[in-house]
Structure 1
């Protein structure tokens, strides 16, 4: 795998780690457009893990002979969590002749990329974004590996209720993604006797969040907010407020999974339940890939890295069986049957999503062990 000539020669490329691989950008390769957040305000740590998984799978495909003897080339573009930048990248990648589009972590960015891919006739396998409405209308060209937000966040709501939390505060940034999450939680919690209290982070400082929590009596605070800001300052403020000693902090979007959360918060970041998409035990493939990713990353691979690996594995199978014609690739989603790192991957039409969906990746609620923040505990599965 290699980057495309224009990115490889740019100043931007010299500031970023270059993906590894064997494929030259000489017209012989099968190109896959790849969207990842590598710079802020995107969550660059998640982008690094996603790219590591994508890259590892591409290298293994090439070592096994590529696609009908042609090497796979990932043409990587940094979205920086910017929907407009992602749209322009999709347009550029179409002109560069990519056979398909892969990747992206941020839901709002993936939604913008999916719209352009659909309009331009480009098959798109979304790796990590979970927003249910990834497209405005049903799409035949867009597929997704990550479980829909409504599926995962209902599991998270069940965990909270099962743990005895029936008055829950949500501290949320304004966005389509966070608003959708709040709605899913409310719809799951209130019919079962719980209450959801919304705190608007546009108007509240971390200290004011603490004051509202102390006055309200909520036993759990969910951070539906960006990382590191404002999530990290809020965690620190709550942990240091003696009035809130018994309040559970939760982060359903998965912020505590990545090492930068632990590096910034240390012990304060432990005991914060989050969603991740891994089985309780990895099979032989997942174990082997996990070891390879650990060596590449220099840290424990997150579920995002496994999503990246599975993305290229699925696309390689489609390319082998359907060739590089974009229409034929898009028509192949319902025929895919691939052994992924986290189980067999098949796609179907899940109600409410509008895309071809893996139903479902395994879902865990986990946290970092307060006795050892480098170790994860599985608290609930769904």
Structure 2
């Protein structure tokens, strides 16, 4: 069944549950808005961040129509961070000092997220990192004022481990973008797989410039190493170039592949019938999720924008819902009270309820793992399984070793 047909069918049931995610209306009163200063790499990463912005805007609209948070409306002030740490710090400072932001949120690239987290620590400003995946954000470089929403690099690699171990392949190649996120993912994969399979060999490792992959030589280098399995971390246009080159050369024929993020519609849809069938991936199969929470979100999103959501839509929407829940629990936007409120905060989102852990400030929201296939000349995830983030996170005792003197 085509995703478009699934969308139409899902909406029939979803309309009945669209109110499940609404915050109860509170008595309206004149009040100052809650200003959320949001910064992100909109120009550099539009495939993910255009839907992300729509998700944020939908959540703001729903919350404000329901009376705001304790009578205060949300006001979103967004800026582009230029995709680099220096610009991001400058923008964050402007959001706080010039725009009067009570809270800062956002960022996409891991090295940018780390820079803004350090800014939040120095300026004692609450920062909800929506998207950057590096483990340093909540562990080695974690701080009191920074929380993270998305499942981290470690979490998503751990979600793929059962498939990687179960494949019983000995000779692995790795390809990843050569910056904080890719480096972190590669090291985590090697560490976890070696622990489970001590005789594993890593026969090739291709670290490519972000957004500038030279796919031909990369595919050839992997083919020359003759691996029987590949771990891929490329995403966006880099992923598309690599997949197309590998398909043309037959580089991955008969090779088992596990891949981060490749089941997210932002990166899967552009491949169309070139989608790499058989890859085991993390992603977002919006067309296969039938829970009431997701159906409510799906109906509201399609009604607002006339198109299905992307993973970015989920992240943007849940970022705003998290901030609203945190402010409600804190009784306002005082930074120290907000930090305390987020430690152990419970939030209801399109994937169901989740928690921000007090030990490392990581949300327990999960992700879907499935296998890529073609349906009507379009890549889809089949047999997707939701993996709860809490099930792949280290214990609080382990976190104390990973997060030395963060607070």
Q: Which TM-score applies when normalising by structure 1?
A: 0.81
The answer to whether the aligner puts 1:181 opposite 2:185 as a matched pair is yes
Give the Cα separation in 2 of the matches to 1:102 and 1:242. Answer: 43
SS of 1:357's partner is: coil
The answer on whether the counterparts of 2:272 and 2:379 sit within 8 Å (CA) in structure 1 is: no
Equivalenced residues, count: 347
Q: Does 1:312 align with 2:296?
A: no
The range that moved more, 85-94 or 370-379, is 370-379
Q: Which residue of structure 2 lines up, in the alignment, with residue 8 of structure 1?
A: none
After superposition, give the CA deviation of every residue in 1:189-213 in whole Å (9 maximum; x if it has no partner). 2231322231243698433233323
Gaps of 5+ in 2: 1-29, 388-407
CA distance in 2, matches of 1:99, 1:204: 39
Paired residues for 1:105-254 under 5 Å: 105-134=108-137, 137-191=141-195, 192=197, 193-196=199-202, 197-201=204-208, 205-225=214-234, 227-229=236-238, 231-242=239-250, 244-252=252-260, 254=261
Deviation digits for residues 287-307 of structure 1, max 9, x if unmatched?
Answer: 111222234454432233212
Q: Output the CA distance in 1 between the equivalents of 2:177 and 2:78.
A: 29
Specify whether residues 27 and 185 from structure 1 end up closer, same or farther in structure 2 by C-alpha distance, changes over 3 A only: same
Q: How does 1:20-59 map to 2 (within 5 A)?
A: 28-40=32-44, 43-59=45-61
8 Å contact kept, 1:364–1:378: no
Residue 285 of structure 1: which of 293, 300, 313 is its match?
Answer: 293
Question: Which residue of structure 1 lines up, in the alignment, with residue 269 of structure 2?
Answer: 262
- CA offsets 1:82-110 (integer angstroms, 9 cap, x no match): 22221111101111221111222222221
Task: Please report how far the alpha carbon of residue 158 of structure 1 lies from its aligned counterpart in structure 2 after TM superposition.
Answer: 2.6
Within 1, Cα distance between the matches of 2:85 and 2:318? 24
273 and 296 in structure 1: CA distance in 2 versus 1, 3 angstrom threshold: farther
1:74 aligned counterpart, secondary structure = strand
The change in CA–CA distance for 1:378 and 1:33 in structure 2 (over 3 A counts) is: farther
Q: For 1:293 and 1:35, locate their aligned partners in 2 and report how far apart those are by CA, in whole Å.
A: 22
Q: Which moved more, 1:150-159 or 1:241-250?
A: 241-250
Q: Distance in 1 between matches of 2:302 and 2:200?
A: 41
SS in structure 1 opposite 2:302? helix
Tell me what 2:75 maps to.
Answer: 73
TM-score, structure 2 as length reference? 0.77
CA–CA distance in 1 between the matches of 2:324 and 2:244?
Answer: 44
1:379 deviation in Å?
5.2
SS of 1:327's partner is: helix
2:356 maps to 1:347: yes
Alpha-carbon RMSD? 2.7
Query: Does the aligned pair in 2 maintain the 1:36–1:50 contact within 8 Å?
Result: no
Asked if 1 retains the 8 angstrom alpha-carbon contact of 2:39 and 2:81, the reply is yes
